[in-house]
């Protein structure tokens, strides 16, 4: 799934909790990709420019990616690592553990939306992972369906917030 959609899915469940909480969940939803591919893009601004100009398209070829992208991808896309951090947060700061679900959702969404030929999701890393040969998220029909589902989810979230405001309930506070 593309990084923006990951962020939007991560944030939608927290939309009614106010902008600060929503933006934190949005960033946590995008973080697994930002901390792996994002680092690569930061160090290759020319690549982004060429892409925006339409001179290149698609993901960067595997041969052009430095080793740290693969290491970071394993770390950020492992449900094992995610669960360890979730358990730690649940023990010390429960409200952050709820937000951490946005990161976990990113990994779960990636498992069926990456083909095995390009960054299949290493969800059991550091243990051997039976990779899923999923559908590729760049397929136009998938992108359209995904954003339609997102639009529906946000309409529901907006209606939920509106209903809370109409009742006078304090729905836009922090996470408790
Ligand atoms: Zn990802």
Per residue in 115-158, pLDDT tens? 888 899 999 999 999 999 998 888 899 999 999 999 999 999 99
Within the chain, residue ranges assigned H as helices are 3-12, 19-34, 37-42, 45-52, 67-76, 79-92, 94-110, 140-167
- Answer yes or no: is 175 within a domain: no
Residue 135: give the domain boundaries.
3-167
Any domain includes 118? yes
Q: 128 C-alpha to center of ligand 1: Å?
A: 18
Q: Is residue 31 part of a domain?
A: yes
Q: What is the pLDDT of residues 20-56, one digit of tens each?
A: 999 999 999 999 999 998 888 888 878 778 877 878 7
Q: Does a structural domain hold residue 138?
A: yes
Residue 25 makes CB contacts below 8 A (sequence gap 6+) with: 10, 11, 13, 14, 99, 102
| Ligand 1 centre distance from Cα of residue 160 (Å) | 29
Rg of the chain in Å (alpha carbons): 18
pTM, rounded to two decimals: 0.87
Distance between Cα 170 and ligand 1 center (Å): 34
Q: Would residue 173 count as lying in a domain?
A: no
Task: Using pLDDT thresholds of 50, 70 and 90, give the confidence band for residue 170.
Answer: low
Could you give the number of structural domains in the chain? 1
Q: Does the pLDDT of residue 108 top 90, yes or no?
A: yes
């Amino acid at each position: 799934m593309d990084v923006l959609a990951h962020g939007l899915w991560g944030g939608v469940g927290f939309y009614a909790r106010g902008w600060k909480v929503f933006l934190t969940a949005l960033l946590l939803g995008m973080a697994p990709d930002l901390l792996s591919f994002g680092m690569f893009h930061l160090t290759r601004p020319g690549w982004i420019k060429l892409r925006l100009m339409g001179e290149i398209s698609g993901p960067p070829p595997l041969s052009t990616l430095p080793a740290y992208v693969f290491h970071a991808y394993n770390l950020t896309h492992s449900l094992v690592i995610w669960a360890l951090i979730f358990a730690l947060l649940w023990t010390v700061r429960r409200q952050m553990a709820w937000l951490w679900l946005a990161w976990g959702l990113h990994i779960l969404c990636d498992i069926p939306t990456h083909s095995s030929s390009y960054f299949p999701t290493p969800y059991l890393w550091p243990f051997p992972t039976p990779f899923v040969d999923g559908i590729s998220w760049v397929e136009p029909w998938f992108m359209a369906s995904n954003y339609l589902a997102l639009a529906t989810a946000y309409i529901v979230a907006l209606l939920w917030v509106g209903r809370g405001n109409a009742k006078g309930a304090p729905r836009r506070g922090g996470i408790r």
